Amino acid sequence: MDDEKTKYELWGETVVKIRARKMRLTRTTFEAVIIQNRDNALKVYMNRRAKNDPVFPGLWTVPGMLCRHGECINAVALRLEKQFGLMMKQNFKYVNFKMNALPHETLFSEIFLLHLLNDPQVDDNHMWFPMDNLPPDLVADFHHKHIIPLAMSAYPQWVASRNS
């Protein structure tokens, strides 16, 4: 039931209902799942969060960013390109979204498959991992159980549509 304490705001491309009495923050993230056939195996590109990260220090994740208030997906993608040195086509394959309730906030993860125009940086904090051998220290296990499998389920059709 909506009342005078309820308002709606645009976060990324998700309209979020906010109630004044609710103290839990709800935000939208852009999850960039980059899958490639490398060395005859499907691999996913991941980056390690900084050791001083306040939420997930030192854990592996797919590249992603929080959407700023009122920001569109293409603007988030441009920020992502700059941060990770990626060059991607601006035709993302929207896969799905998942809600992840963390102790301090709720995240709506919008999941996209991306086609890169260059090879991303690879170092101790940015690596390709085989799909059947992901690092054990993933962000909240949410990527392993939800985000990457959803992207993998859409990957074969996405590749076929790019090649046709």
Task: Please report, for the domain that includes residue 42, its CATH number.
Answer: 3.90.79.10
Domain that holds residue 86: 6-163
Rounded distance, CA 12 to CA 97, Å?
12
User: Is 107 inside a domain boundary?
Assistant: yes
User: Is 148 inside a domain boundary?
Assistant: yes
Share of the chain above pLDDT 90, in %: 8
pLDDT tens, residue by residue, 28-86: 778 888 888 888 888 999 889 889 988 789 999 888 887 887 887 778 888 877 777 77
User: Is 1 inside a domain boundary?
Assistant: no
Rounded distance, CA 164 to CA 159, Å?
9
User: Is 151 inside a domain boundary?
Assistant: yes
- 72 within 8 A of 60, measured Cβ to Cβ: no
User: Is 103 inside a domain boundary?
Assistant: yes
Q: State the total domains in the chain.
A: 1
Strand spans (E) along 34-162: 35-38, 41-48, 60-61, 64-66, 93-101, 105-113, 126-130
Contacts (Cβ under 8 Å, ≥6 apart) of 119: none
